[in-house]
Structure 1
Amino acid sequence: MKTSSKWFVTAGAALFLAACGNGESEENTNDVSSGEGNDTEEQQTVEVETMNGDMIEVPVNPEKVISFDHGVTDSIRAIGGDISGIPMGSNVPEYLQELENGDVENIGSLFEPDFEKIYEMDPDVIFISGRASDNYEELSEIAPTVFLQVDNQNFMETFERNMSVIGEIFDASEEVDSQLAEINNVIENVQGRAAESEANALIVSIDEGSASAYGIGSRFGIIHDVMNIPAADEDIPAEGHGSNVSNEYFSKTNPDYIFAIDRGASIGNSATADQVLGNEEVQRTNAYQDDNIYQLNSEVWYLSGSGLESVKMIVDEINAAYEQ
């Protein structure tokens, strides 16, 4: 078995630079007149659609940034932006753990914000996704709150749209475009290899000794939907947390590749992927016989998976599997 060495978007529906002043033209958004002709520099903003459909203005190059989404966090870091607060009360992926040791504030958990700390920080912008969405109203009373989440059944379009929003906010659209191009180059490489091999794949999430299968249109469906790797089982429902499967399911489905994500290990439970993937029924599969079982980086796939850094890691892992 191999361990690879190497996750409804509303913001981004409308993006343009807006002036906060009264009647200033777009050409003069950086300067406004005040008092007896004293010129002051005005904060440039980006207008985005919020979670509830309203339009809000977010400052360009915000200084105090809070992120409740690991993918947003890694994207901001990837383009050279600074993060002021992340939720350290939840499992922080290893690739982001350096942020816990710096000047970044702990703002609670992914599901339970530390509102007192956030009020105290007086952020310029707050980024959230699905895990923190129940707190949108209260967070939006503190600062402009941008909801960024990918649509699993339309992953790349919504992912790229989210990244465009981040690029606009941090005045780094060219850098975002460059990094997206790198990701797409790797994806094209995998697509070509997948077409040549015609091998299918099964994606499983493992937790406490049990396996759940994920397929087309699911949270891990990027393997099938974007990289064009055929699904060993095309009938797995896309919704929810996968379909719980038995040991016999593996031999019956007989995938050519198995990509496994140890969810339990990613959230601090016992790692049981070896136990599940070592059973006799798995050993009967083409994937086992051909040494094509890969344990993916579960923290990246389960906890992140929708940022510039994390999506790059995801596609690199699958690309590496097809290079061997």
Structure 2
Amino acid sequence: MVRLRKLFLGTLMLMLVLSLAACGSSANTAREDSASQEGEEIVVKHQLGETKVKKNPKNVVVFDFGVLDSLDKLGVEVAGVPQANVPPYLKKYGAGDYANVGSLKEPDFEKVSSLGPELIIISARQSDQYEEFSKIAPTIYMGVDTSRYMESFTENMETLGKIFGKEAEVEKELEAINETIEKVKEKASASDKKALIILTTGGKTSAYGPGSRFGLIHDVLGVKPVDKNIKAATHGMSVSFEYIAEKNPDYLFVIDRDKVVSGEGGQPAEQVLNNDLVKGTKAYKDKNIVYLDPNYWYLSGGGLVSLGEMVKEVEAGLQ
């Protein structure tokens, strides 16, 4: 009996020792995995080159409001943003909790450098300064290629997912956006009505067609263009009111640049278009002039939030 008790106690002690050893080994492995992930890098290919980026980088600086709204949606913190003209739905980034790193066109490189960023994200407005940014920290370009809008947008969002460990969240958001897009495409394809997209600024108008900055209305959502020959330029094709009257669109989609850039000093799009030539169009007579929110369309297009809202605005405008 004594011998059996000693054997039992010995076996129990051995199991305890082995268990403690296993726990120690697991803890060490967990620490090693954490350290490995902390220092892990991925190579991001973008329009301006290839960049090695740390996973979950610290002190991120963002110069694109579409990317900013995506990171905000995903719950990713940033250190610095250009605070001039921050869209109202992102107004918290215009406060003192975040560093002001200049403007979209004139970055404050000294301020950016002082933040010690491990990643800088830029887009078209800063593309000429890519090399300067790259001297400070790893820099990636995340502007949307409008000639392949959804493919480019999806690639950008999936890249953010990989960098910040948010793959599942990104996939869920993309699914929701694509579902809405399909609904709008179905609605647009069932109609023969044609649309014209214009931007107003300083009392003048520019038209945008397929493949252009705002061309996703045609290219992605399937709304038929009233003019297929509009030059697909970033700044649009300057047009007159006579041109609008001649093309006589069923829908007129309007982006008011002055509303978000010039503030009170600009001329509202409603005033710009308040003339007999525009009033003679089918769009005006059928109450199908759709004023799109320039905060989404001009300032922050290509984000998880902004793109979703842009699609919904077009859907609401198609009667």
TM range (shorter): 0.7 to 0.9
Q: Which residue in 1 is equivalent to 2:60? A: 65
Letter of the 2:211 partner, please give it: G
Q: Which residue in 1 is equivalent to 2:94? A: 100
Give 1:240 deviation, angstroms. Answer: 3.9
- Count of equivalent residues: 289
Give the 3 Å change call, closer, same or farther, for CA 42–312 of structure 1 in structure 2: closer
Q: Which residue in 1 is equivalent to 2:295? A: 299
**3-state secondary structure, aligned to 1:141:** helix
Letter of the 1:295 partner, please give it: Y
Partners of 1:61 and 1:169 within 8 A in 2 = yes
Give 1:29 deviation, angstroms. Answer: 11
Q: Which residue in 1 is equivalent to 2:32? A: 31
Q: Which residue in 1 is equivalent to 2:225? A: 231
Give the 3 Å change call, closer, same or farther, for CA 50–161 of structure 1 in structure 2: closer
Residues 1:113 and 2:107 aligned together: yes
Partners of 1:150 and 1:158 within 8 A in 2 = yes
TM-score between both structures, scaled by the size of structure 2: 0.86
Q: Which whole-Å deviations, capped at 9, do the CAs of 1:248-267 have from their partners, x for residues lacking one?
A: 11221110000000112221
Larger helix percent: 2
Residues 1:76 and 2:77 aligned together: no
Give 1:205 deviation, angstroms. Answer: 0.3
Q: Which residue of the other structure, out of 230, 237, 250, is the alignment partner of 1:256?
A: 250
Give the 3 Å change call, closer, same or farther, for CA 40–219 of structure 1 in structure 2: closer
Return the alpha-carbon distance in structure 2 between the equivalents of residues 279 and 319 of structure 1: 27
The gaps in structure 2 that reach 5 residues or longer are 1-28
Give the 3 Å change call, closer, same or farther, for CA 195–304 of structure 1 in structure 2: same
Residues 1:136 and 2:136 aligned together: no
**3-state secondary structure, aligned to 2:117:** coil
Q: CA RMSD in A?
A: 2.0
Give the 3 Å change call, closer, same or farther, for CA 29–240 of structure 1 in structure 2: farther
Q: Which residue in 1 is equivalent to 2:276? A: 280
Return the alpha-carbon distance in structure 1 between the equivalents of residues 36 and 169 of structure 2: 29
Q: Which residue in 1 is equivalent to 2:11? A: none
Letter of the 2:86 partner, please give it: V
Larger radius of gyration between Structure 1 and Structure 2 = 2
Q: Which whole-Å deviations, capped at 9, do the CAs of 1:24-70 have from their partners, x for residues lacking one?
A: xxxx99838xxxxxx887422222125543x4321212221100111
Give 1:139 deviation, angstroms. Answer: 1.2
**3-state secondary structure, aligned to 2:193:** coil
Give the 3 Å change call, closer, same or farther, for CA 41–187 of structure 1 in structure 2: closer
Letter of the 1:130 partner, please give it: A
Q: Which residue in 2 is equivalent to 1:243? A: 237
TM-score between both structures, scaled by the size of structure 1: 0.84
Partners of 2:60 and 2:117 within 8 A in 1 = yes
Letter of the 1:62 partner, please give it: P
Return the alpha-carbon distance in structure 1 between the equivalents of residues 313 and 281 of structure 2: 21
